[in-house]
Structure 1
Amino acid sequence: MRLKSINLSPIRYWFQNVGDNSILITIFTLIWLLGINFIAFIWNLGSVGLIDETEPLFAEASRQMLITGDWITPFFDGQTRFDKPALIYWFQAIAYKIMGVNEWAVRIPSALAAISVTVMAFYVVKWHLTEKDRLDQTTNLPRRYFIATLTSGMIALNPEMIVWGRVGVSDMLLTGGIACSLLSFFVGYAQNSPPSRWPNPWYVTSYVLMGAAVLTKGPVGIVLPGFILIAFALYLGKFKQLWQEAQPVLGIFIVVIINAPWYVLVTWRNGWNFINTFFGYHNIERFTEVVNGHSAPWYFYFLVVLFGFLPYSVFLPAALIKFMGWKFWQNSWRSYIISQERSQHLGLFACFWFLGVFIFFTIATTKLPSYVLPLMPAAGILIGLFSSDLFTHKPTDKSFRLSSWANVAFSLTIAIALLHVLQLLGTDSAAPEFYQQLQHSGLTNLGGWIWLIAAIAVACLNLIRSYRIVLPTNILAFVIFLALVLMPALFMMDEQRQAPLRQLSALAVSEIKPHEELVMVGFQKPTVSFYSRKAVTYLEDAQEALDYIRTQSVTTKNSHSLLLLLEHQEFMTMSLPLENYKPMGKKGAYHLIRVPLPPIKKSHSLSKA
C-alpha cells in the first residue's frame, strides 16, 4: 500500500501565504540570513581562547605587525613567518585597531568571509531560479526564495564551514575569495553580454576577488579557480568565446596590480629567504611532497566531505549525477547542455567547481581537511538545486528518494557513533580530565539522541512522501546539535586544554623579572606567546631543556633565572632537585617554575646533560 503524499503545514503555509507576499518574503529572508550567519559564525565567536597550534601563530604575527608598524614582513617571536601572504595579517591587525587585541578581532575576518559566501550563494541561486521562471514563463516566487534560503543554510551549517569560519587562520579568507570570485564569474557568464571594450563588471569583480585570494594564500588563489573555469569553458566548447568576452588578460593584470606591491616589497626586504620559504616550501613542496607529516590515503577527501558536510553529504552523489549526467562525455549530453541558456548552467558550473577542488587537492601530496573547504559552497548549491524540483508539479526524482533513505542511514550511523564514542577516545596528556568531564556531561549521549530522532523524523517524512521537509529537518537537527552539544563541548575543551595555558601565561607576565627568559618545554603552544605578549623560547623535550639550562648558565649575563612552562610529563622527566627550581603555579597539565642560573645543586640529569 502506497502512502499518500502529505503537505505538512509549515511548508504549505509558506507557499500559500508568505511566498506570495514580497514584503513578508523579504523580511523572512533577512531574518533567515541574519539568523543562520549569527548562529554559525558570530555566536560565542570570542568566548573561547585561541586554539593551538595554528591560530595563535596568525594572531601573534598580526599583533607584531600592529606594534612594529612593519606591514610588509610578518614575524612570530622575532622570526619571519612566510607561511602565508599578508592579507590575513592586515585584516587581523586592522581588527585589533578597531576592537582591541582579543579573540573577537582574531576571528572576525574569517567570520565575515564565511558570511559573504552564504549571502553571495543566496543571491546567485535566487537569481538563477528567477531566470528559470522567466524561461518557463511562470512566477514561482516562493520556490526562488525557499531554495535560496535552503542553500545558504546548508552552506553555513556544516562542520567544515563552522570550524574554519570560527578560527583566525587564512583558510576561510581563501574560500571566501575563491567562492565569491567563481560566483561572480558565473553571473557575468550567465548574463551573456556581447563582447565589448571592457568585460562585464561581474567578471571584473571576479578578478578582484581572485587577487584577494592570491594575497591570502598565494598562487592557489588564481590557479584553482583558473583550473575550474578553463575546464568548464572547454567542456562547453566556449573557450574562445569566453576568452574574448571575459578578457582574462585584463584579469591577470588586475591580479598582478593587487598583489605586486606586497610581493615586490617583501622580496626586496627578504630576498631568497622569502622566495625559497614561501614559493618553494609552502607552495611547490606542499603540492609535490609530504610536509609536516600531513600525508593521507587517496580516499582521504571522500571522508572529509562525507563528515565535513554532514548531514547533507549523502545527497551529493545523486546531485552530481543529475547535473553532470551519467554520460557527460558524450556529444548528445553536451549538446543538450549547450542548447540551454547560460543562466541554467549553474548546476553544471557547481559540478566543475566541486570536482575541480576535489581532484586538485587529491592529486596534491600534502593533505589537510581544510584544503577542500573551497568546495563546500559548491556542495550546498548542488544539493539546493537538486531539491528545487520538489517545489514544482514534477514527480519526486527516484534519486532524491534514495538519497533521503541514505540520509536516514547516515544519521543513524552518526547517532550510534556518538553513543559509543567514549569507548574509542584515548587520553590526552594536555587535557587529562577532559575525558572524565565529557563522560559526566552526557553530551555524547545527547548528540546520539539528537541524530537518532533526526533519523526517525526523516524516515517518517519519507514514508509519508513529504520530501520537501527532509533538508529543512536536517538543518534543524544540525542547529540543535550545534547549540546543545558542539558548543558546550567547545567550552569544555577550552577549559581543559587552553585555559591553563592562558592562566599560566598571565602569571608569567606578572612574575617575570627584567631580562628573564620565558621558555616552554614540550609541544609548541603559540598561545603562550600571544597571551604573555612575550617572545617565548620553545624547546622540544626535557633533555633539550636540561641542555639549554646548562648552556644559559654559562652564557647568560643579564639574568639569574629562567621561567619554564612545561607539561607535567616533561616536568617529571627533568627530575630537578627541589633546590633547583621554585614552583610558581600549576594549572591543568602544566607547571610554571623558576630555575636559577646556574643551578644551585647539580642533579643527575643536569650533570649528564
Structure 2
Amino acid sequence: MLNQKNGHQPLSLKALLLLGLAAFLLFLPGRAVTPPFDRDEPRYMEATAQMLESHNFVDVRFQDKPRYLQPAGIYWLEAAAVSITGMQHQRVVWPYRIPSLLAMSGAVVLTALIGSMLFGASAGLGAGLLFMASVLVAAESRMATIDSCLLLTVLLAQLALTGALRDRQQGVATPIKRALLYWGAIGCGLMLKGPVILIPSLATPLVLGMLERDFGLWRRMRPAWGWLLSAAILVPWCVAIGVVSHGEFFRNAVGTNFLGKVASGQQAHGLPPGYHLLVFLLAFWPGSFFAACVAPLVWCARKQETVRYLLCWIIPHWVVFEAIATKLPHYVLPTYPAIAILTAAFLAQGGDVWRNWPARVWGKVLLSIYAVAWALVGIALAVAGPTLVWVLEHQISATAIVLALGVLPLVGLATWYISRARLQQAALSSVAAAVLLYVGLFTVVVPQLQSIWLAPRLTALVQAHQPCAESHVVSVSFSEPSLVFLLGGKVLLTGAENAAAAVKADAKCTVALVDQRDTPAFMAALGNKSEDAVSLGTVGGLNYSNGRHLLISLYKLNTSPKQ
C-alpha cells in the first residue's frame, strides 16, 4: 500500500521555478532550426499569419478556405507571440511555437506541484521529471499546435480540484478562488479545443462522486454558478463566429470534426481500441516501464482517496479516446501528468518494495518482457540520430554518433538497475538518457536531415528565380501546408492541367513546381507552349507525410523572342 498522509507540503516556489527553468531549457533547442512540421502545424501557422494580415480575429482561414475546426484561442495566442516578437511580416517558425514552449514548461511545473500536494515533495519532483522526459511531451512542446496549451488548461483545472480535495481532507471550506480557477481554466480550454477539456475536467469529480456516492468535491467547485464563468469566456466569440459564418462553424466543428472523429477514423487515423495502450511504451518512454511496474500496486491501492482521485482523472479520459474511431498519440496526453504522479509516488516508496515484486511468476515474466521491449525502444531512440543521417542523407555524422554513444550507456545502466530492482536509480538514469537524447536530436540531427525538408528548399528555389516582384506560384506535386506558409500563403495547389493554364495565362510572372511523375501531363497540357518551358532548378527528397520520393522542378515559360 502507498504510504499516504494528509497535509503534504507542496514543493517550494524555488524548486518549482528551477524545475520550470529546466523544462524550458530542455524544450528550447530545435524550435528555430526545425521547419514547419506537416501537416497540422503549418496550418495553424498560416491561419495565424493570415489573421494578423487581415486583422480578422474571428473568422479563421487557411488561404481562401474557412478553418472551422475549433475556436480561435490558439490562433490568438500564436498571433500575440508573433506580434510581441515583431515577426508578423516574416515567415519564420519560432515565434509561433512560443505558446507551446511556455505552456509545456508550465505543465511540468503544475504536474510537480499537484504531485507534491498529493504525495509529498519527492513524489512531485519525480513526477515532474518523468513527465518532462517523455517522448510525446518533447515532441508536442516543439510544435505550434493546440495540445500543449490545452494540457495547461487541464492541469489548471486539476490543480483547483486537488486543492479542493486537500480542503476536504483537512475539513476546511474551499475558497472561492479555487472555483474561479477551475471554471476559468475550463473556459480557456473550451476556447482552445471546444468540449475536449470537459472530458478530464468534469469526469474527474463526477466519476469520483459516483464511486464515493458523495459529490462533495464537485459541490466545492460551485457548479450552480461556476459554469457562467466558462460561458462568459466562450460565448462572445461563439456569437461572433455564428454571425460571420451563418452557423457553418458549428455544423463543421461539431458535426464533421468532433462527432466525425467519434464515428470514423479521419485522415487515415482510424485504429482499433488498444492503440493508445500499445503506443504508450514509446510515447511515455522512459517512464512507461516504471508506470507498468507500479500499475498492480496502484490497483491494490485504488481505494485510497488520492489514488482513486488520480484514477478518476486517467481512466475516463483514456477509455473515451480508446473508444472513438480516430486515434492520435496526443489524444491521451492529458492523462500523462496523472500517470507520472502515480508512478513517482510509488517509486518513492523505496527499494524494499521491489525486491520481490511482482510476487507471482507470470507477473515477473510479463514485466520482464515489457522491460526488454522498453530497453529496445531506448536503444532504437539512441541510434536513431546517426541512422537517420546515414539512411536519408548518406552521410556519417560523427557528432550524432558521439551523442548516441553517450545515450546508450545510460540506457544500459538503467536496464542494469532494473535487473537489480533499483528502480529509483533506473528512473534517474533513463531520464538523463532522455535529456541527452533530445538535446542531440534537435540540435545535431534535425538540421542535417535536409532531404525530408522539401518545403524550405522549394521556397528557396522559388525565391532565387522568381521572375517578378509579385510572382505567382503553382504547385502540382507538393501540396503540403508547410509550403503554403513559407511562401506567404501565395501558392496555388492544383493539378497539372490547371497549372498549365495558369502558366499560359501569365507566362511572365507565373512559375510551376512539378514532380517528374507529373511532368508529362503538365507538358501535354501546355500543348505547343511546352517547347518554351524552361526548368529553373530541381529539388529532390522525401515527402515524409506520404512516403513519396519526389524530384520537383521549377518551370517557367520563356517569353523572350526566339532568334
TM-score bracket for the superposition, by shorter chain length: 0.7 to 0.9
Aligned to 2:24: 37
Following superposition, the deviation at residue 595 of structure 1 comes to 3.8
Following superposition, the deviation at residue 249 of structure 1 comes to 3.1
CA shift in 2, pair 1:364/1:442, >3 Å? farther
Aligned residues: 529
Task: Describe the SS at the equivalent of 1:389.
Answer: coil
Following superposition, the deviation at residue 516 of structure 1 comes to 4.7
Aligned to 1:373: 333
Query: Quick one: which of 400, 423, 444 aligns to 1:488?
Result: 444
Contact 2:455–2:482 at 8 Å: present in 1 too? yes
Q: In percent, how many aligned pairs have the same letter?
A: 19
Contact 1:519–1:538 at 8 Å: present in 2 too? yes
CA distance in 1, matches of 2:355, 2:164: 31
Once structures 1 and 2 are overlaid, which stretch shifts more, 113-122 or 350-359? 350-359
Larger Rg: 1
Aligned to 1:607: none
CA shift in 2, pair 1:450/1:262, >3 Å? same
Contact 1:389–1:396 at 8 Å: present in 2 too? no
Aligned to 2:294: 319
Following superposition, the deviation at residue 387 of structure 1 comes to 1.0
Once structures 1 and 2 are overlaid, which stretch shifts more, 210-219 or 348-357? 348-357
CA distance in 2, matches of 1:434, 1:465: 37
CA distance in 2, matches of 1:530, 1:412: 39
- Uncovered stretches (5+) of structure 2, i.e. residues with no partner: 1-9, 542-550
CA shift in 2, pair 1:230/1:37, >3 Å? same
Task: Describe the SS at the equivalent of 2:69.
Answer: coil
What TM-score do you get using the length of structure 1 for normalisation? 0.77
Query: Quick one: which of 399, 412, 415 aligns to 1:456?
Result: 412
CA distance in 2, matches of 1:56, 1:202: 36
Task: Describe the SS at the equivalent of 2:220.
Answer: helix
Cα-to-partner distance string for 1:404-449 (whole Å, 9 max, x where unaligned): 8667523432256469979999xxxxxxx97242663378877875
Task: Describe the SS at the equivalent of 1:63.
Answer: helix
Contact 2:536–2:556 at 8 Å: present in 1 too? no
CA distance in 2, matches of 1:404, 1:447: 29
Task: Describe the SS at the equivalent of 1:167.
Answer: coil
Task: Describe the SS at the equivalent of 2:510.
Answer: strand
CA shift in 2, pair 1:355/1:508, >3 Å? same
Mapping 1:68-87, distance limit 5 Å: 68-87=54-73
Given the alignment of the two structures, is residue 585 of structure 1 paired with residue 537 of structure 2, yes or no? yes
Following superposition, the deviation at residue 390 of structure 1 comes to 1.4
Following superposition, the deviation at residue 44 of structure 1 comes to 3.0
Contact 1:54–1:169 at 8 Å: present in 2 too? yes
Aligned to 2:313: 353
Following superposition, the deviation at residue 263 of structure 1 comes to 1.0
Query: Quick one: which of 497, 504, 526 aligns to 1:546?
Result: 497
CA shift in 2, pair 1:250/1:484, >3 Å? same
Task: Describe the SS at the equivalent of 1:117.
Answer: helix
Contact 1:125–1:381 at 8 Å: present in 2 too? yes
CA distance in 2, matches of 1:559, 1:574: 14
Aligned to 1:162: 138
CA shift in 2, pair 1:464/1:550, >3 Å? closer
Contact 2:499–2:522 at 8 Å: present in 1 too? no
Name the aligned partner's letter for residue 454 of structure 1.
Answer: L
Aligned to 1:342: none
Name the aligned partner's letter for residue 381 of structure 1.
Answer: I
Task: Describe the SS at the equivalent of 2:268.
Answer: coil
Mapping 1:139-154, distance limit 5 Å: 144=121, 146-154=122-130
Task: Describe the SS at the equivalent of 2:273.
Answer: coil
Given the alignment of the two structures, is residue 259 of structure 1 paired with residue 214 of structure 2, yes or no? no
CA distance in 1, matches of 2:370, 2:421: 14
CA RMSD of aligned residues (A): 3.5
What TM-score do you get using the length of structure 2 for normalisation? 0.83
CA distance in 2, matches of 1:480, 1:123: 25
Name the aligned partner's letter for residue 111 of structure 1.
Answer: L
CA distance in 1, matches of 2:235, 2:50: 23
Name the aligned partner's letter for residue 410 of structure 2.
Answer: A
Contact 1:347–1:381 at 8 Å: present in 2 too? no
Mapping 1:386-535, distance limit 5 Å: 386-390=346-350, 395-396=353-354, 398-399=356-357, 408-414=371-377, 417=380, 435-437=391-393, 440-441=396-397, 452-462=408-418, 466-485=422-441, 487-493=443-449, 495-498=450-453, 500-509=454-463, 511-513=466-468, 516-535=471-490
Contact 2:289–2:371 at 8 Å: present in 1 too? no
CA distance in 1, matches of 2:114, 2:205: 17
Query: Quick one: which of 75, 95, 98 aligns to 1:89?
Result: 75
Aligned to 2:491: 536
CA distance in 1, matches of 2:261, 2:43: 19
Query: Quick one: which of 384, 388, 391 aligns to 2:344?
Result: 384
Mapping 1:337-348, distance limit 5 Å: 337=304, 345-348=305-308
Mapping 1:249-328, distance limit 5 Å: 249-325=224-300
Following superposition, the deviation at residue 479 of structure 1 comes to 1.3
CA distance in 2, matches of 1:147, 1:200: 28
CA shift in 2, pair 1:570/1:418, >3 Å? farther
Cα-to-partner distance string for 1:18-37 (whole Å, 9 max, x where unaligned): xxxx99x8766644431233
CA distance in 2, matches of 1:247, 1:469: 43
Given the alignment of the two structures, is residue 205 of structure 1 paired with residue 187 of structure 2, yes or no? no
CA shift in 2, pair 1:186/1:78, >3 Å? same
Cα-to-partner distance string for 1:496-553 (whole Å, 9 max, x where unaligned): 222x4224324535615367531112242222222221432112xxxx3124424775
Task: Describe the SS at the equivalent of 2:350.
Answer: helix
CA distance in 1, matches of 2:135, 2:207: 29
Mapping 1:121-132, distance limit 5 Å: 121-130=111-120
CA shift in 2, pair 1:226/1:563, >3 Å? same
CA distance in 2, matches of 1:128, 1:85: 34
Aligned to 1:134: none
Following superposition, the deviation at residue 348 of structure 1 comes to 2.6
Once structures 1 and 2 are overlaid, which stretch shifts more, 198-207 or 296-305? 198-207
CA distance in 1, matches of 2:29, 2:340: 22
Cα-to-partner distance string for 1:470-511 (whole Å, 9 max, x where unaligned): 211110111122223454332233x2222x422432453561
CA shift in 2, pair 1:578/1:549, >3 Å? closer
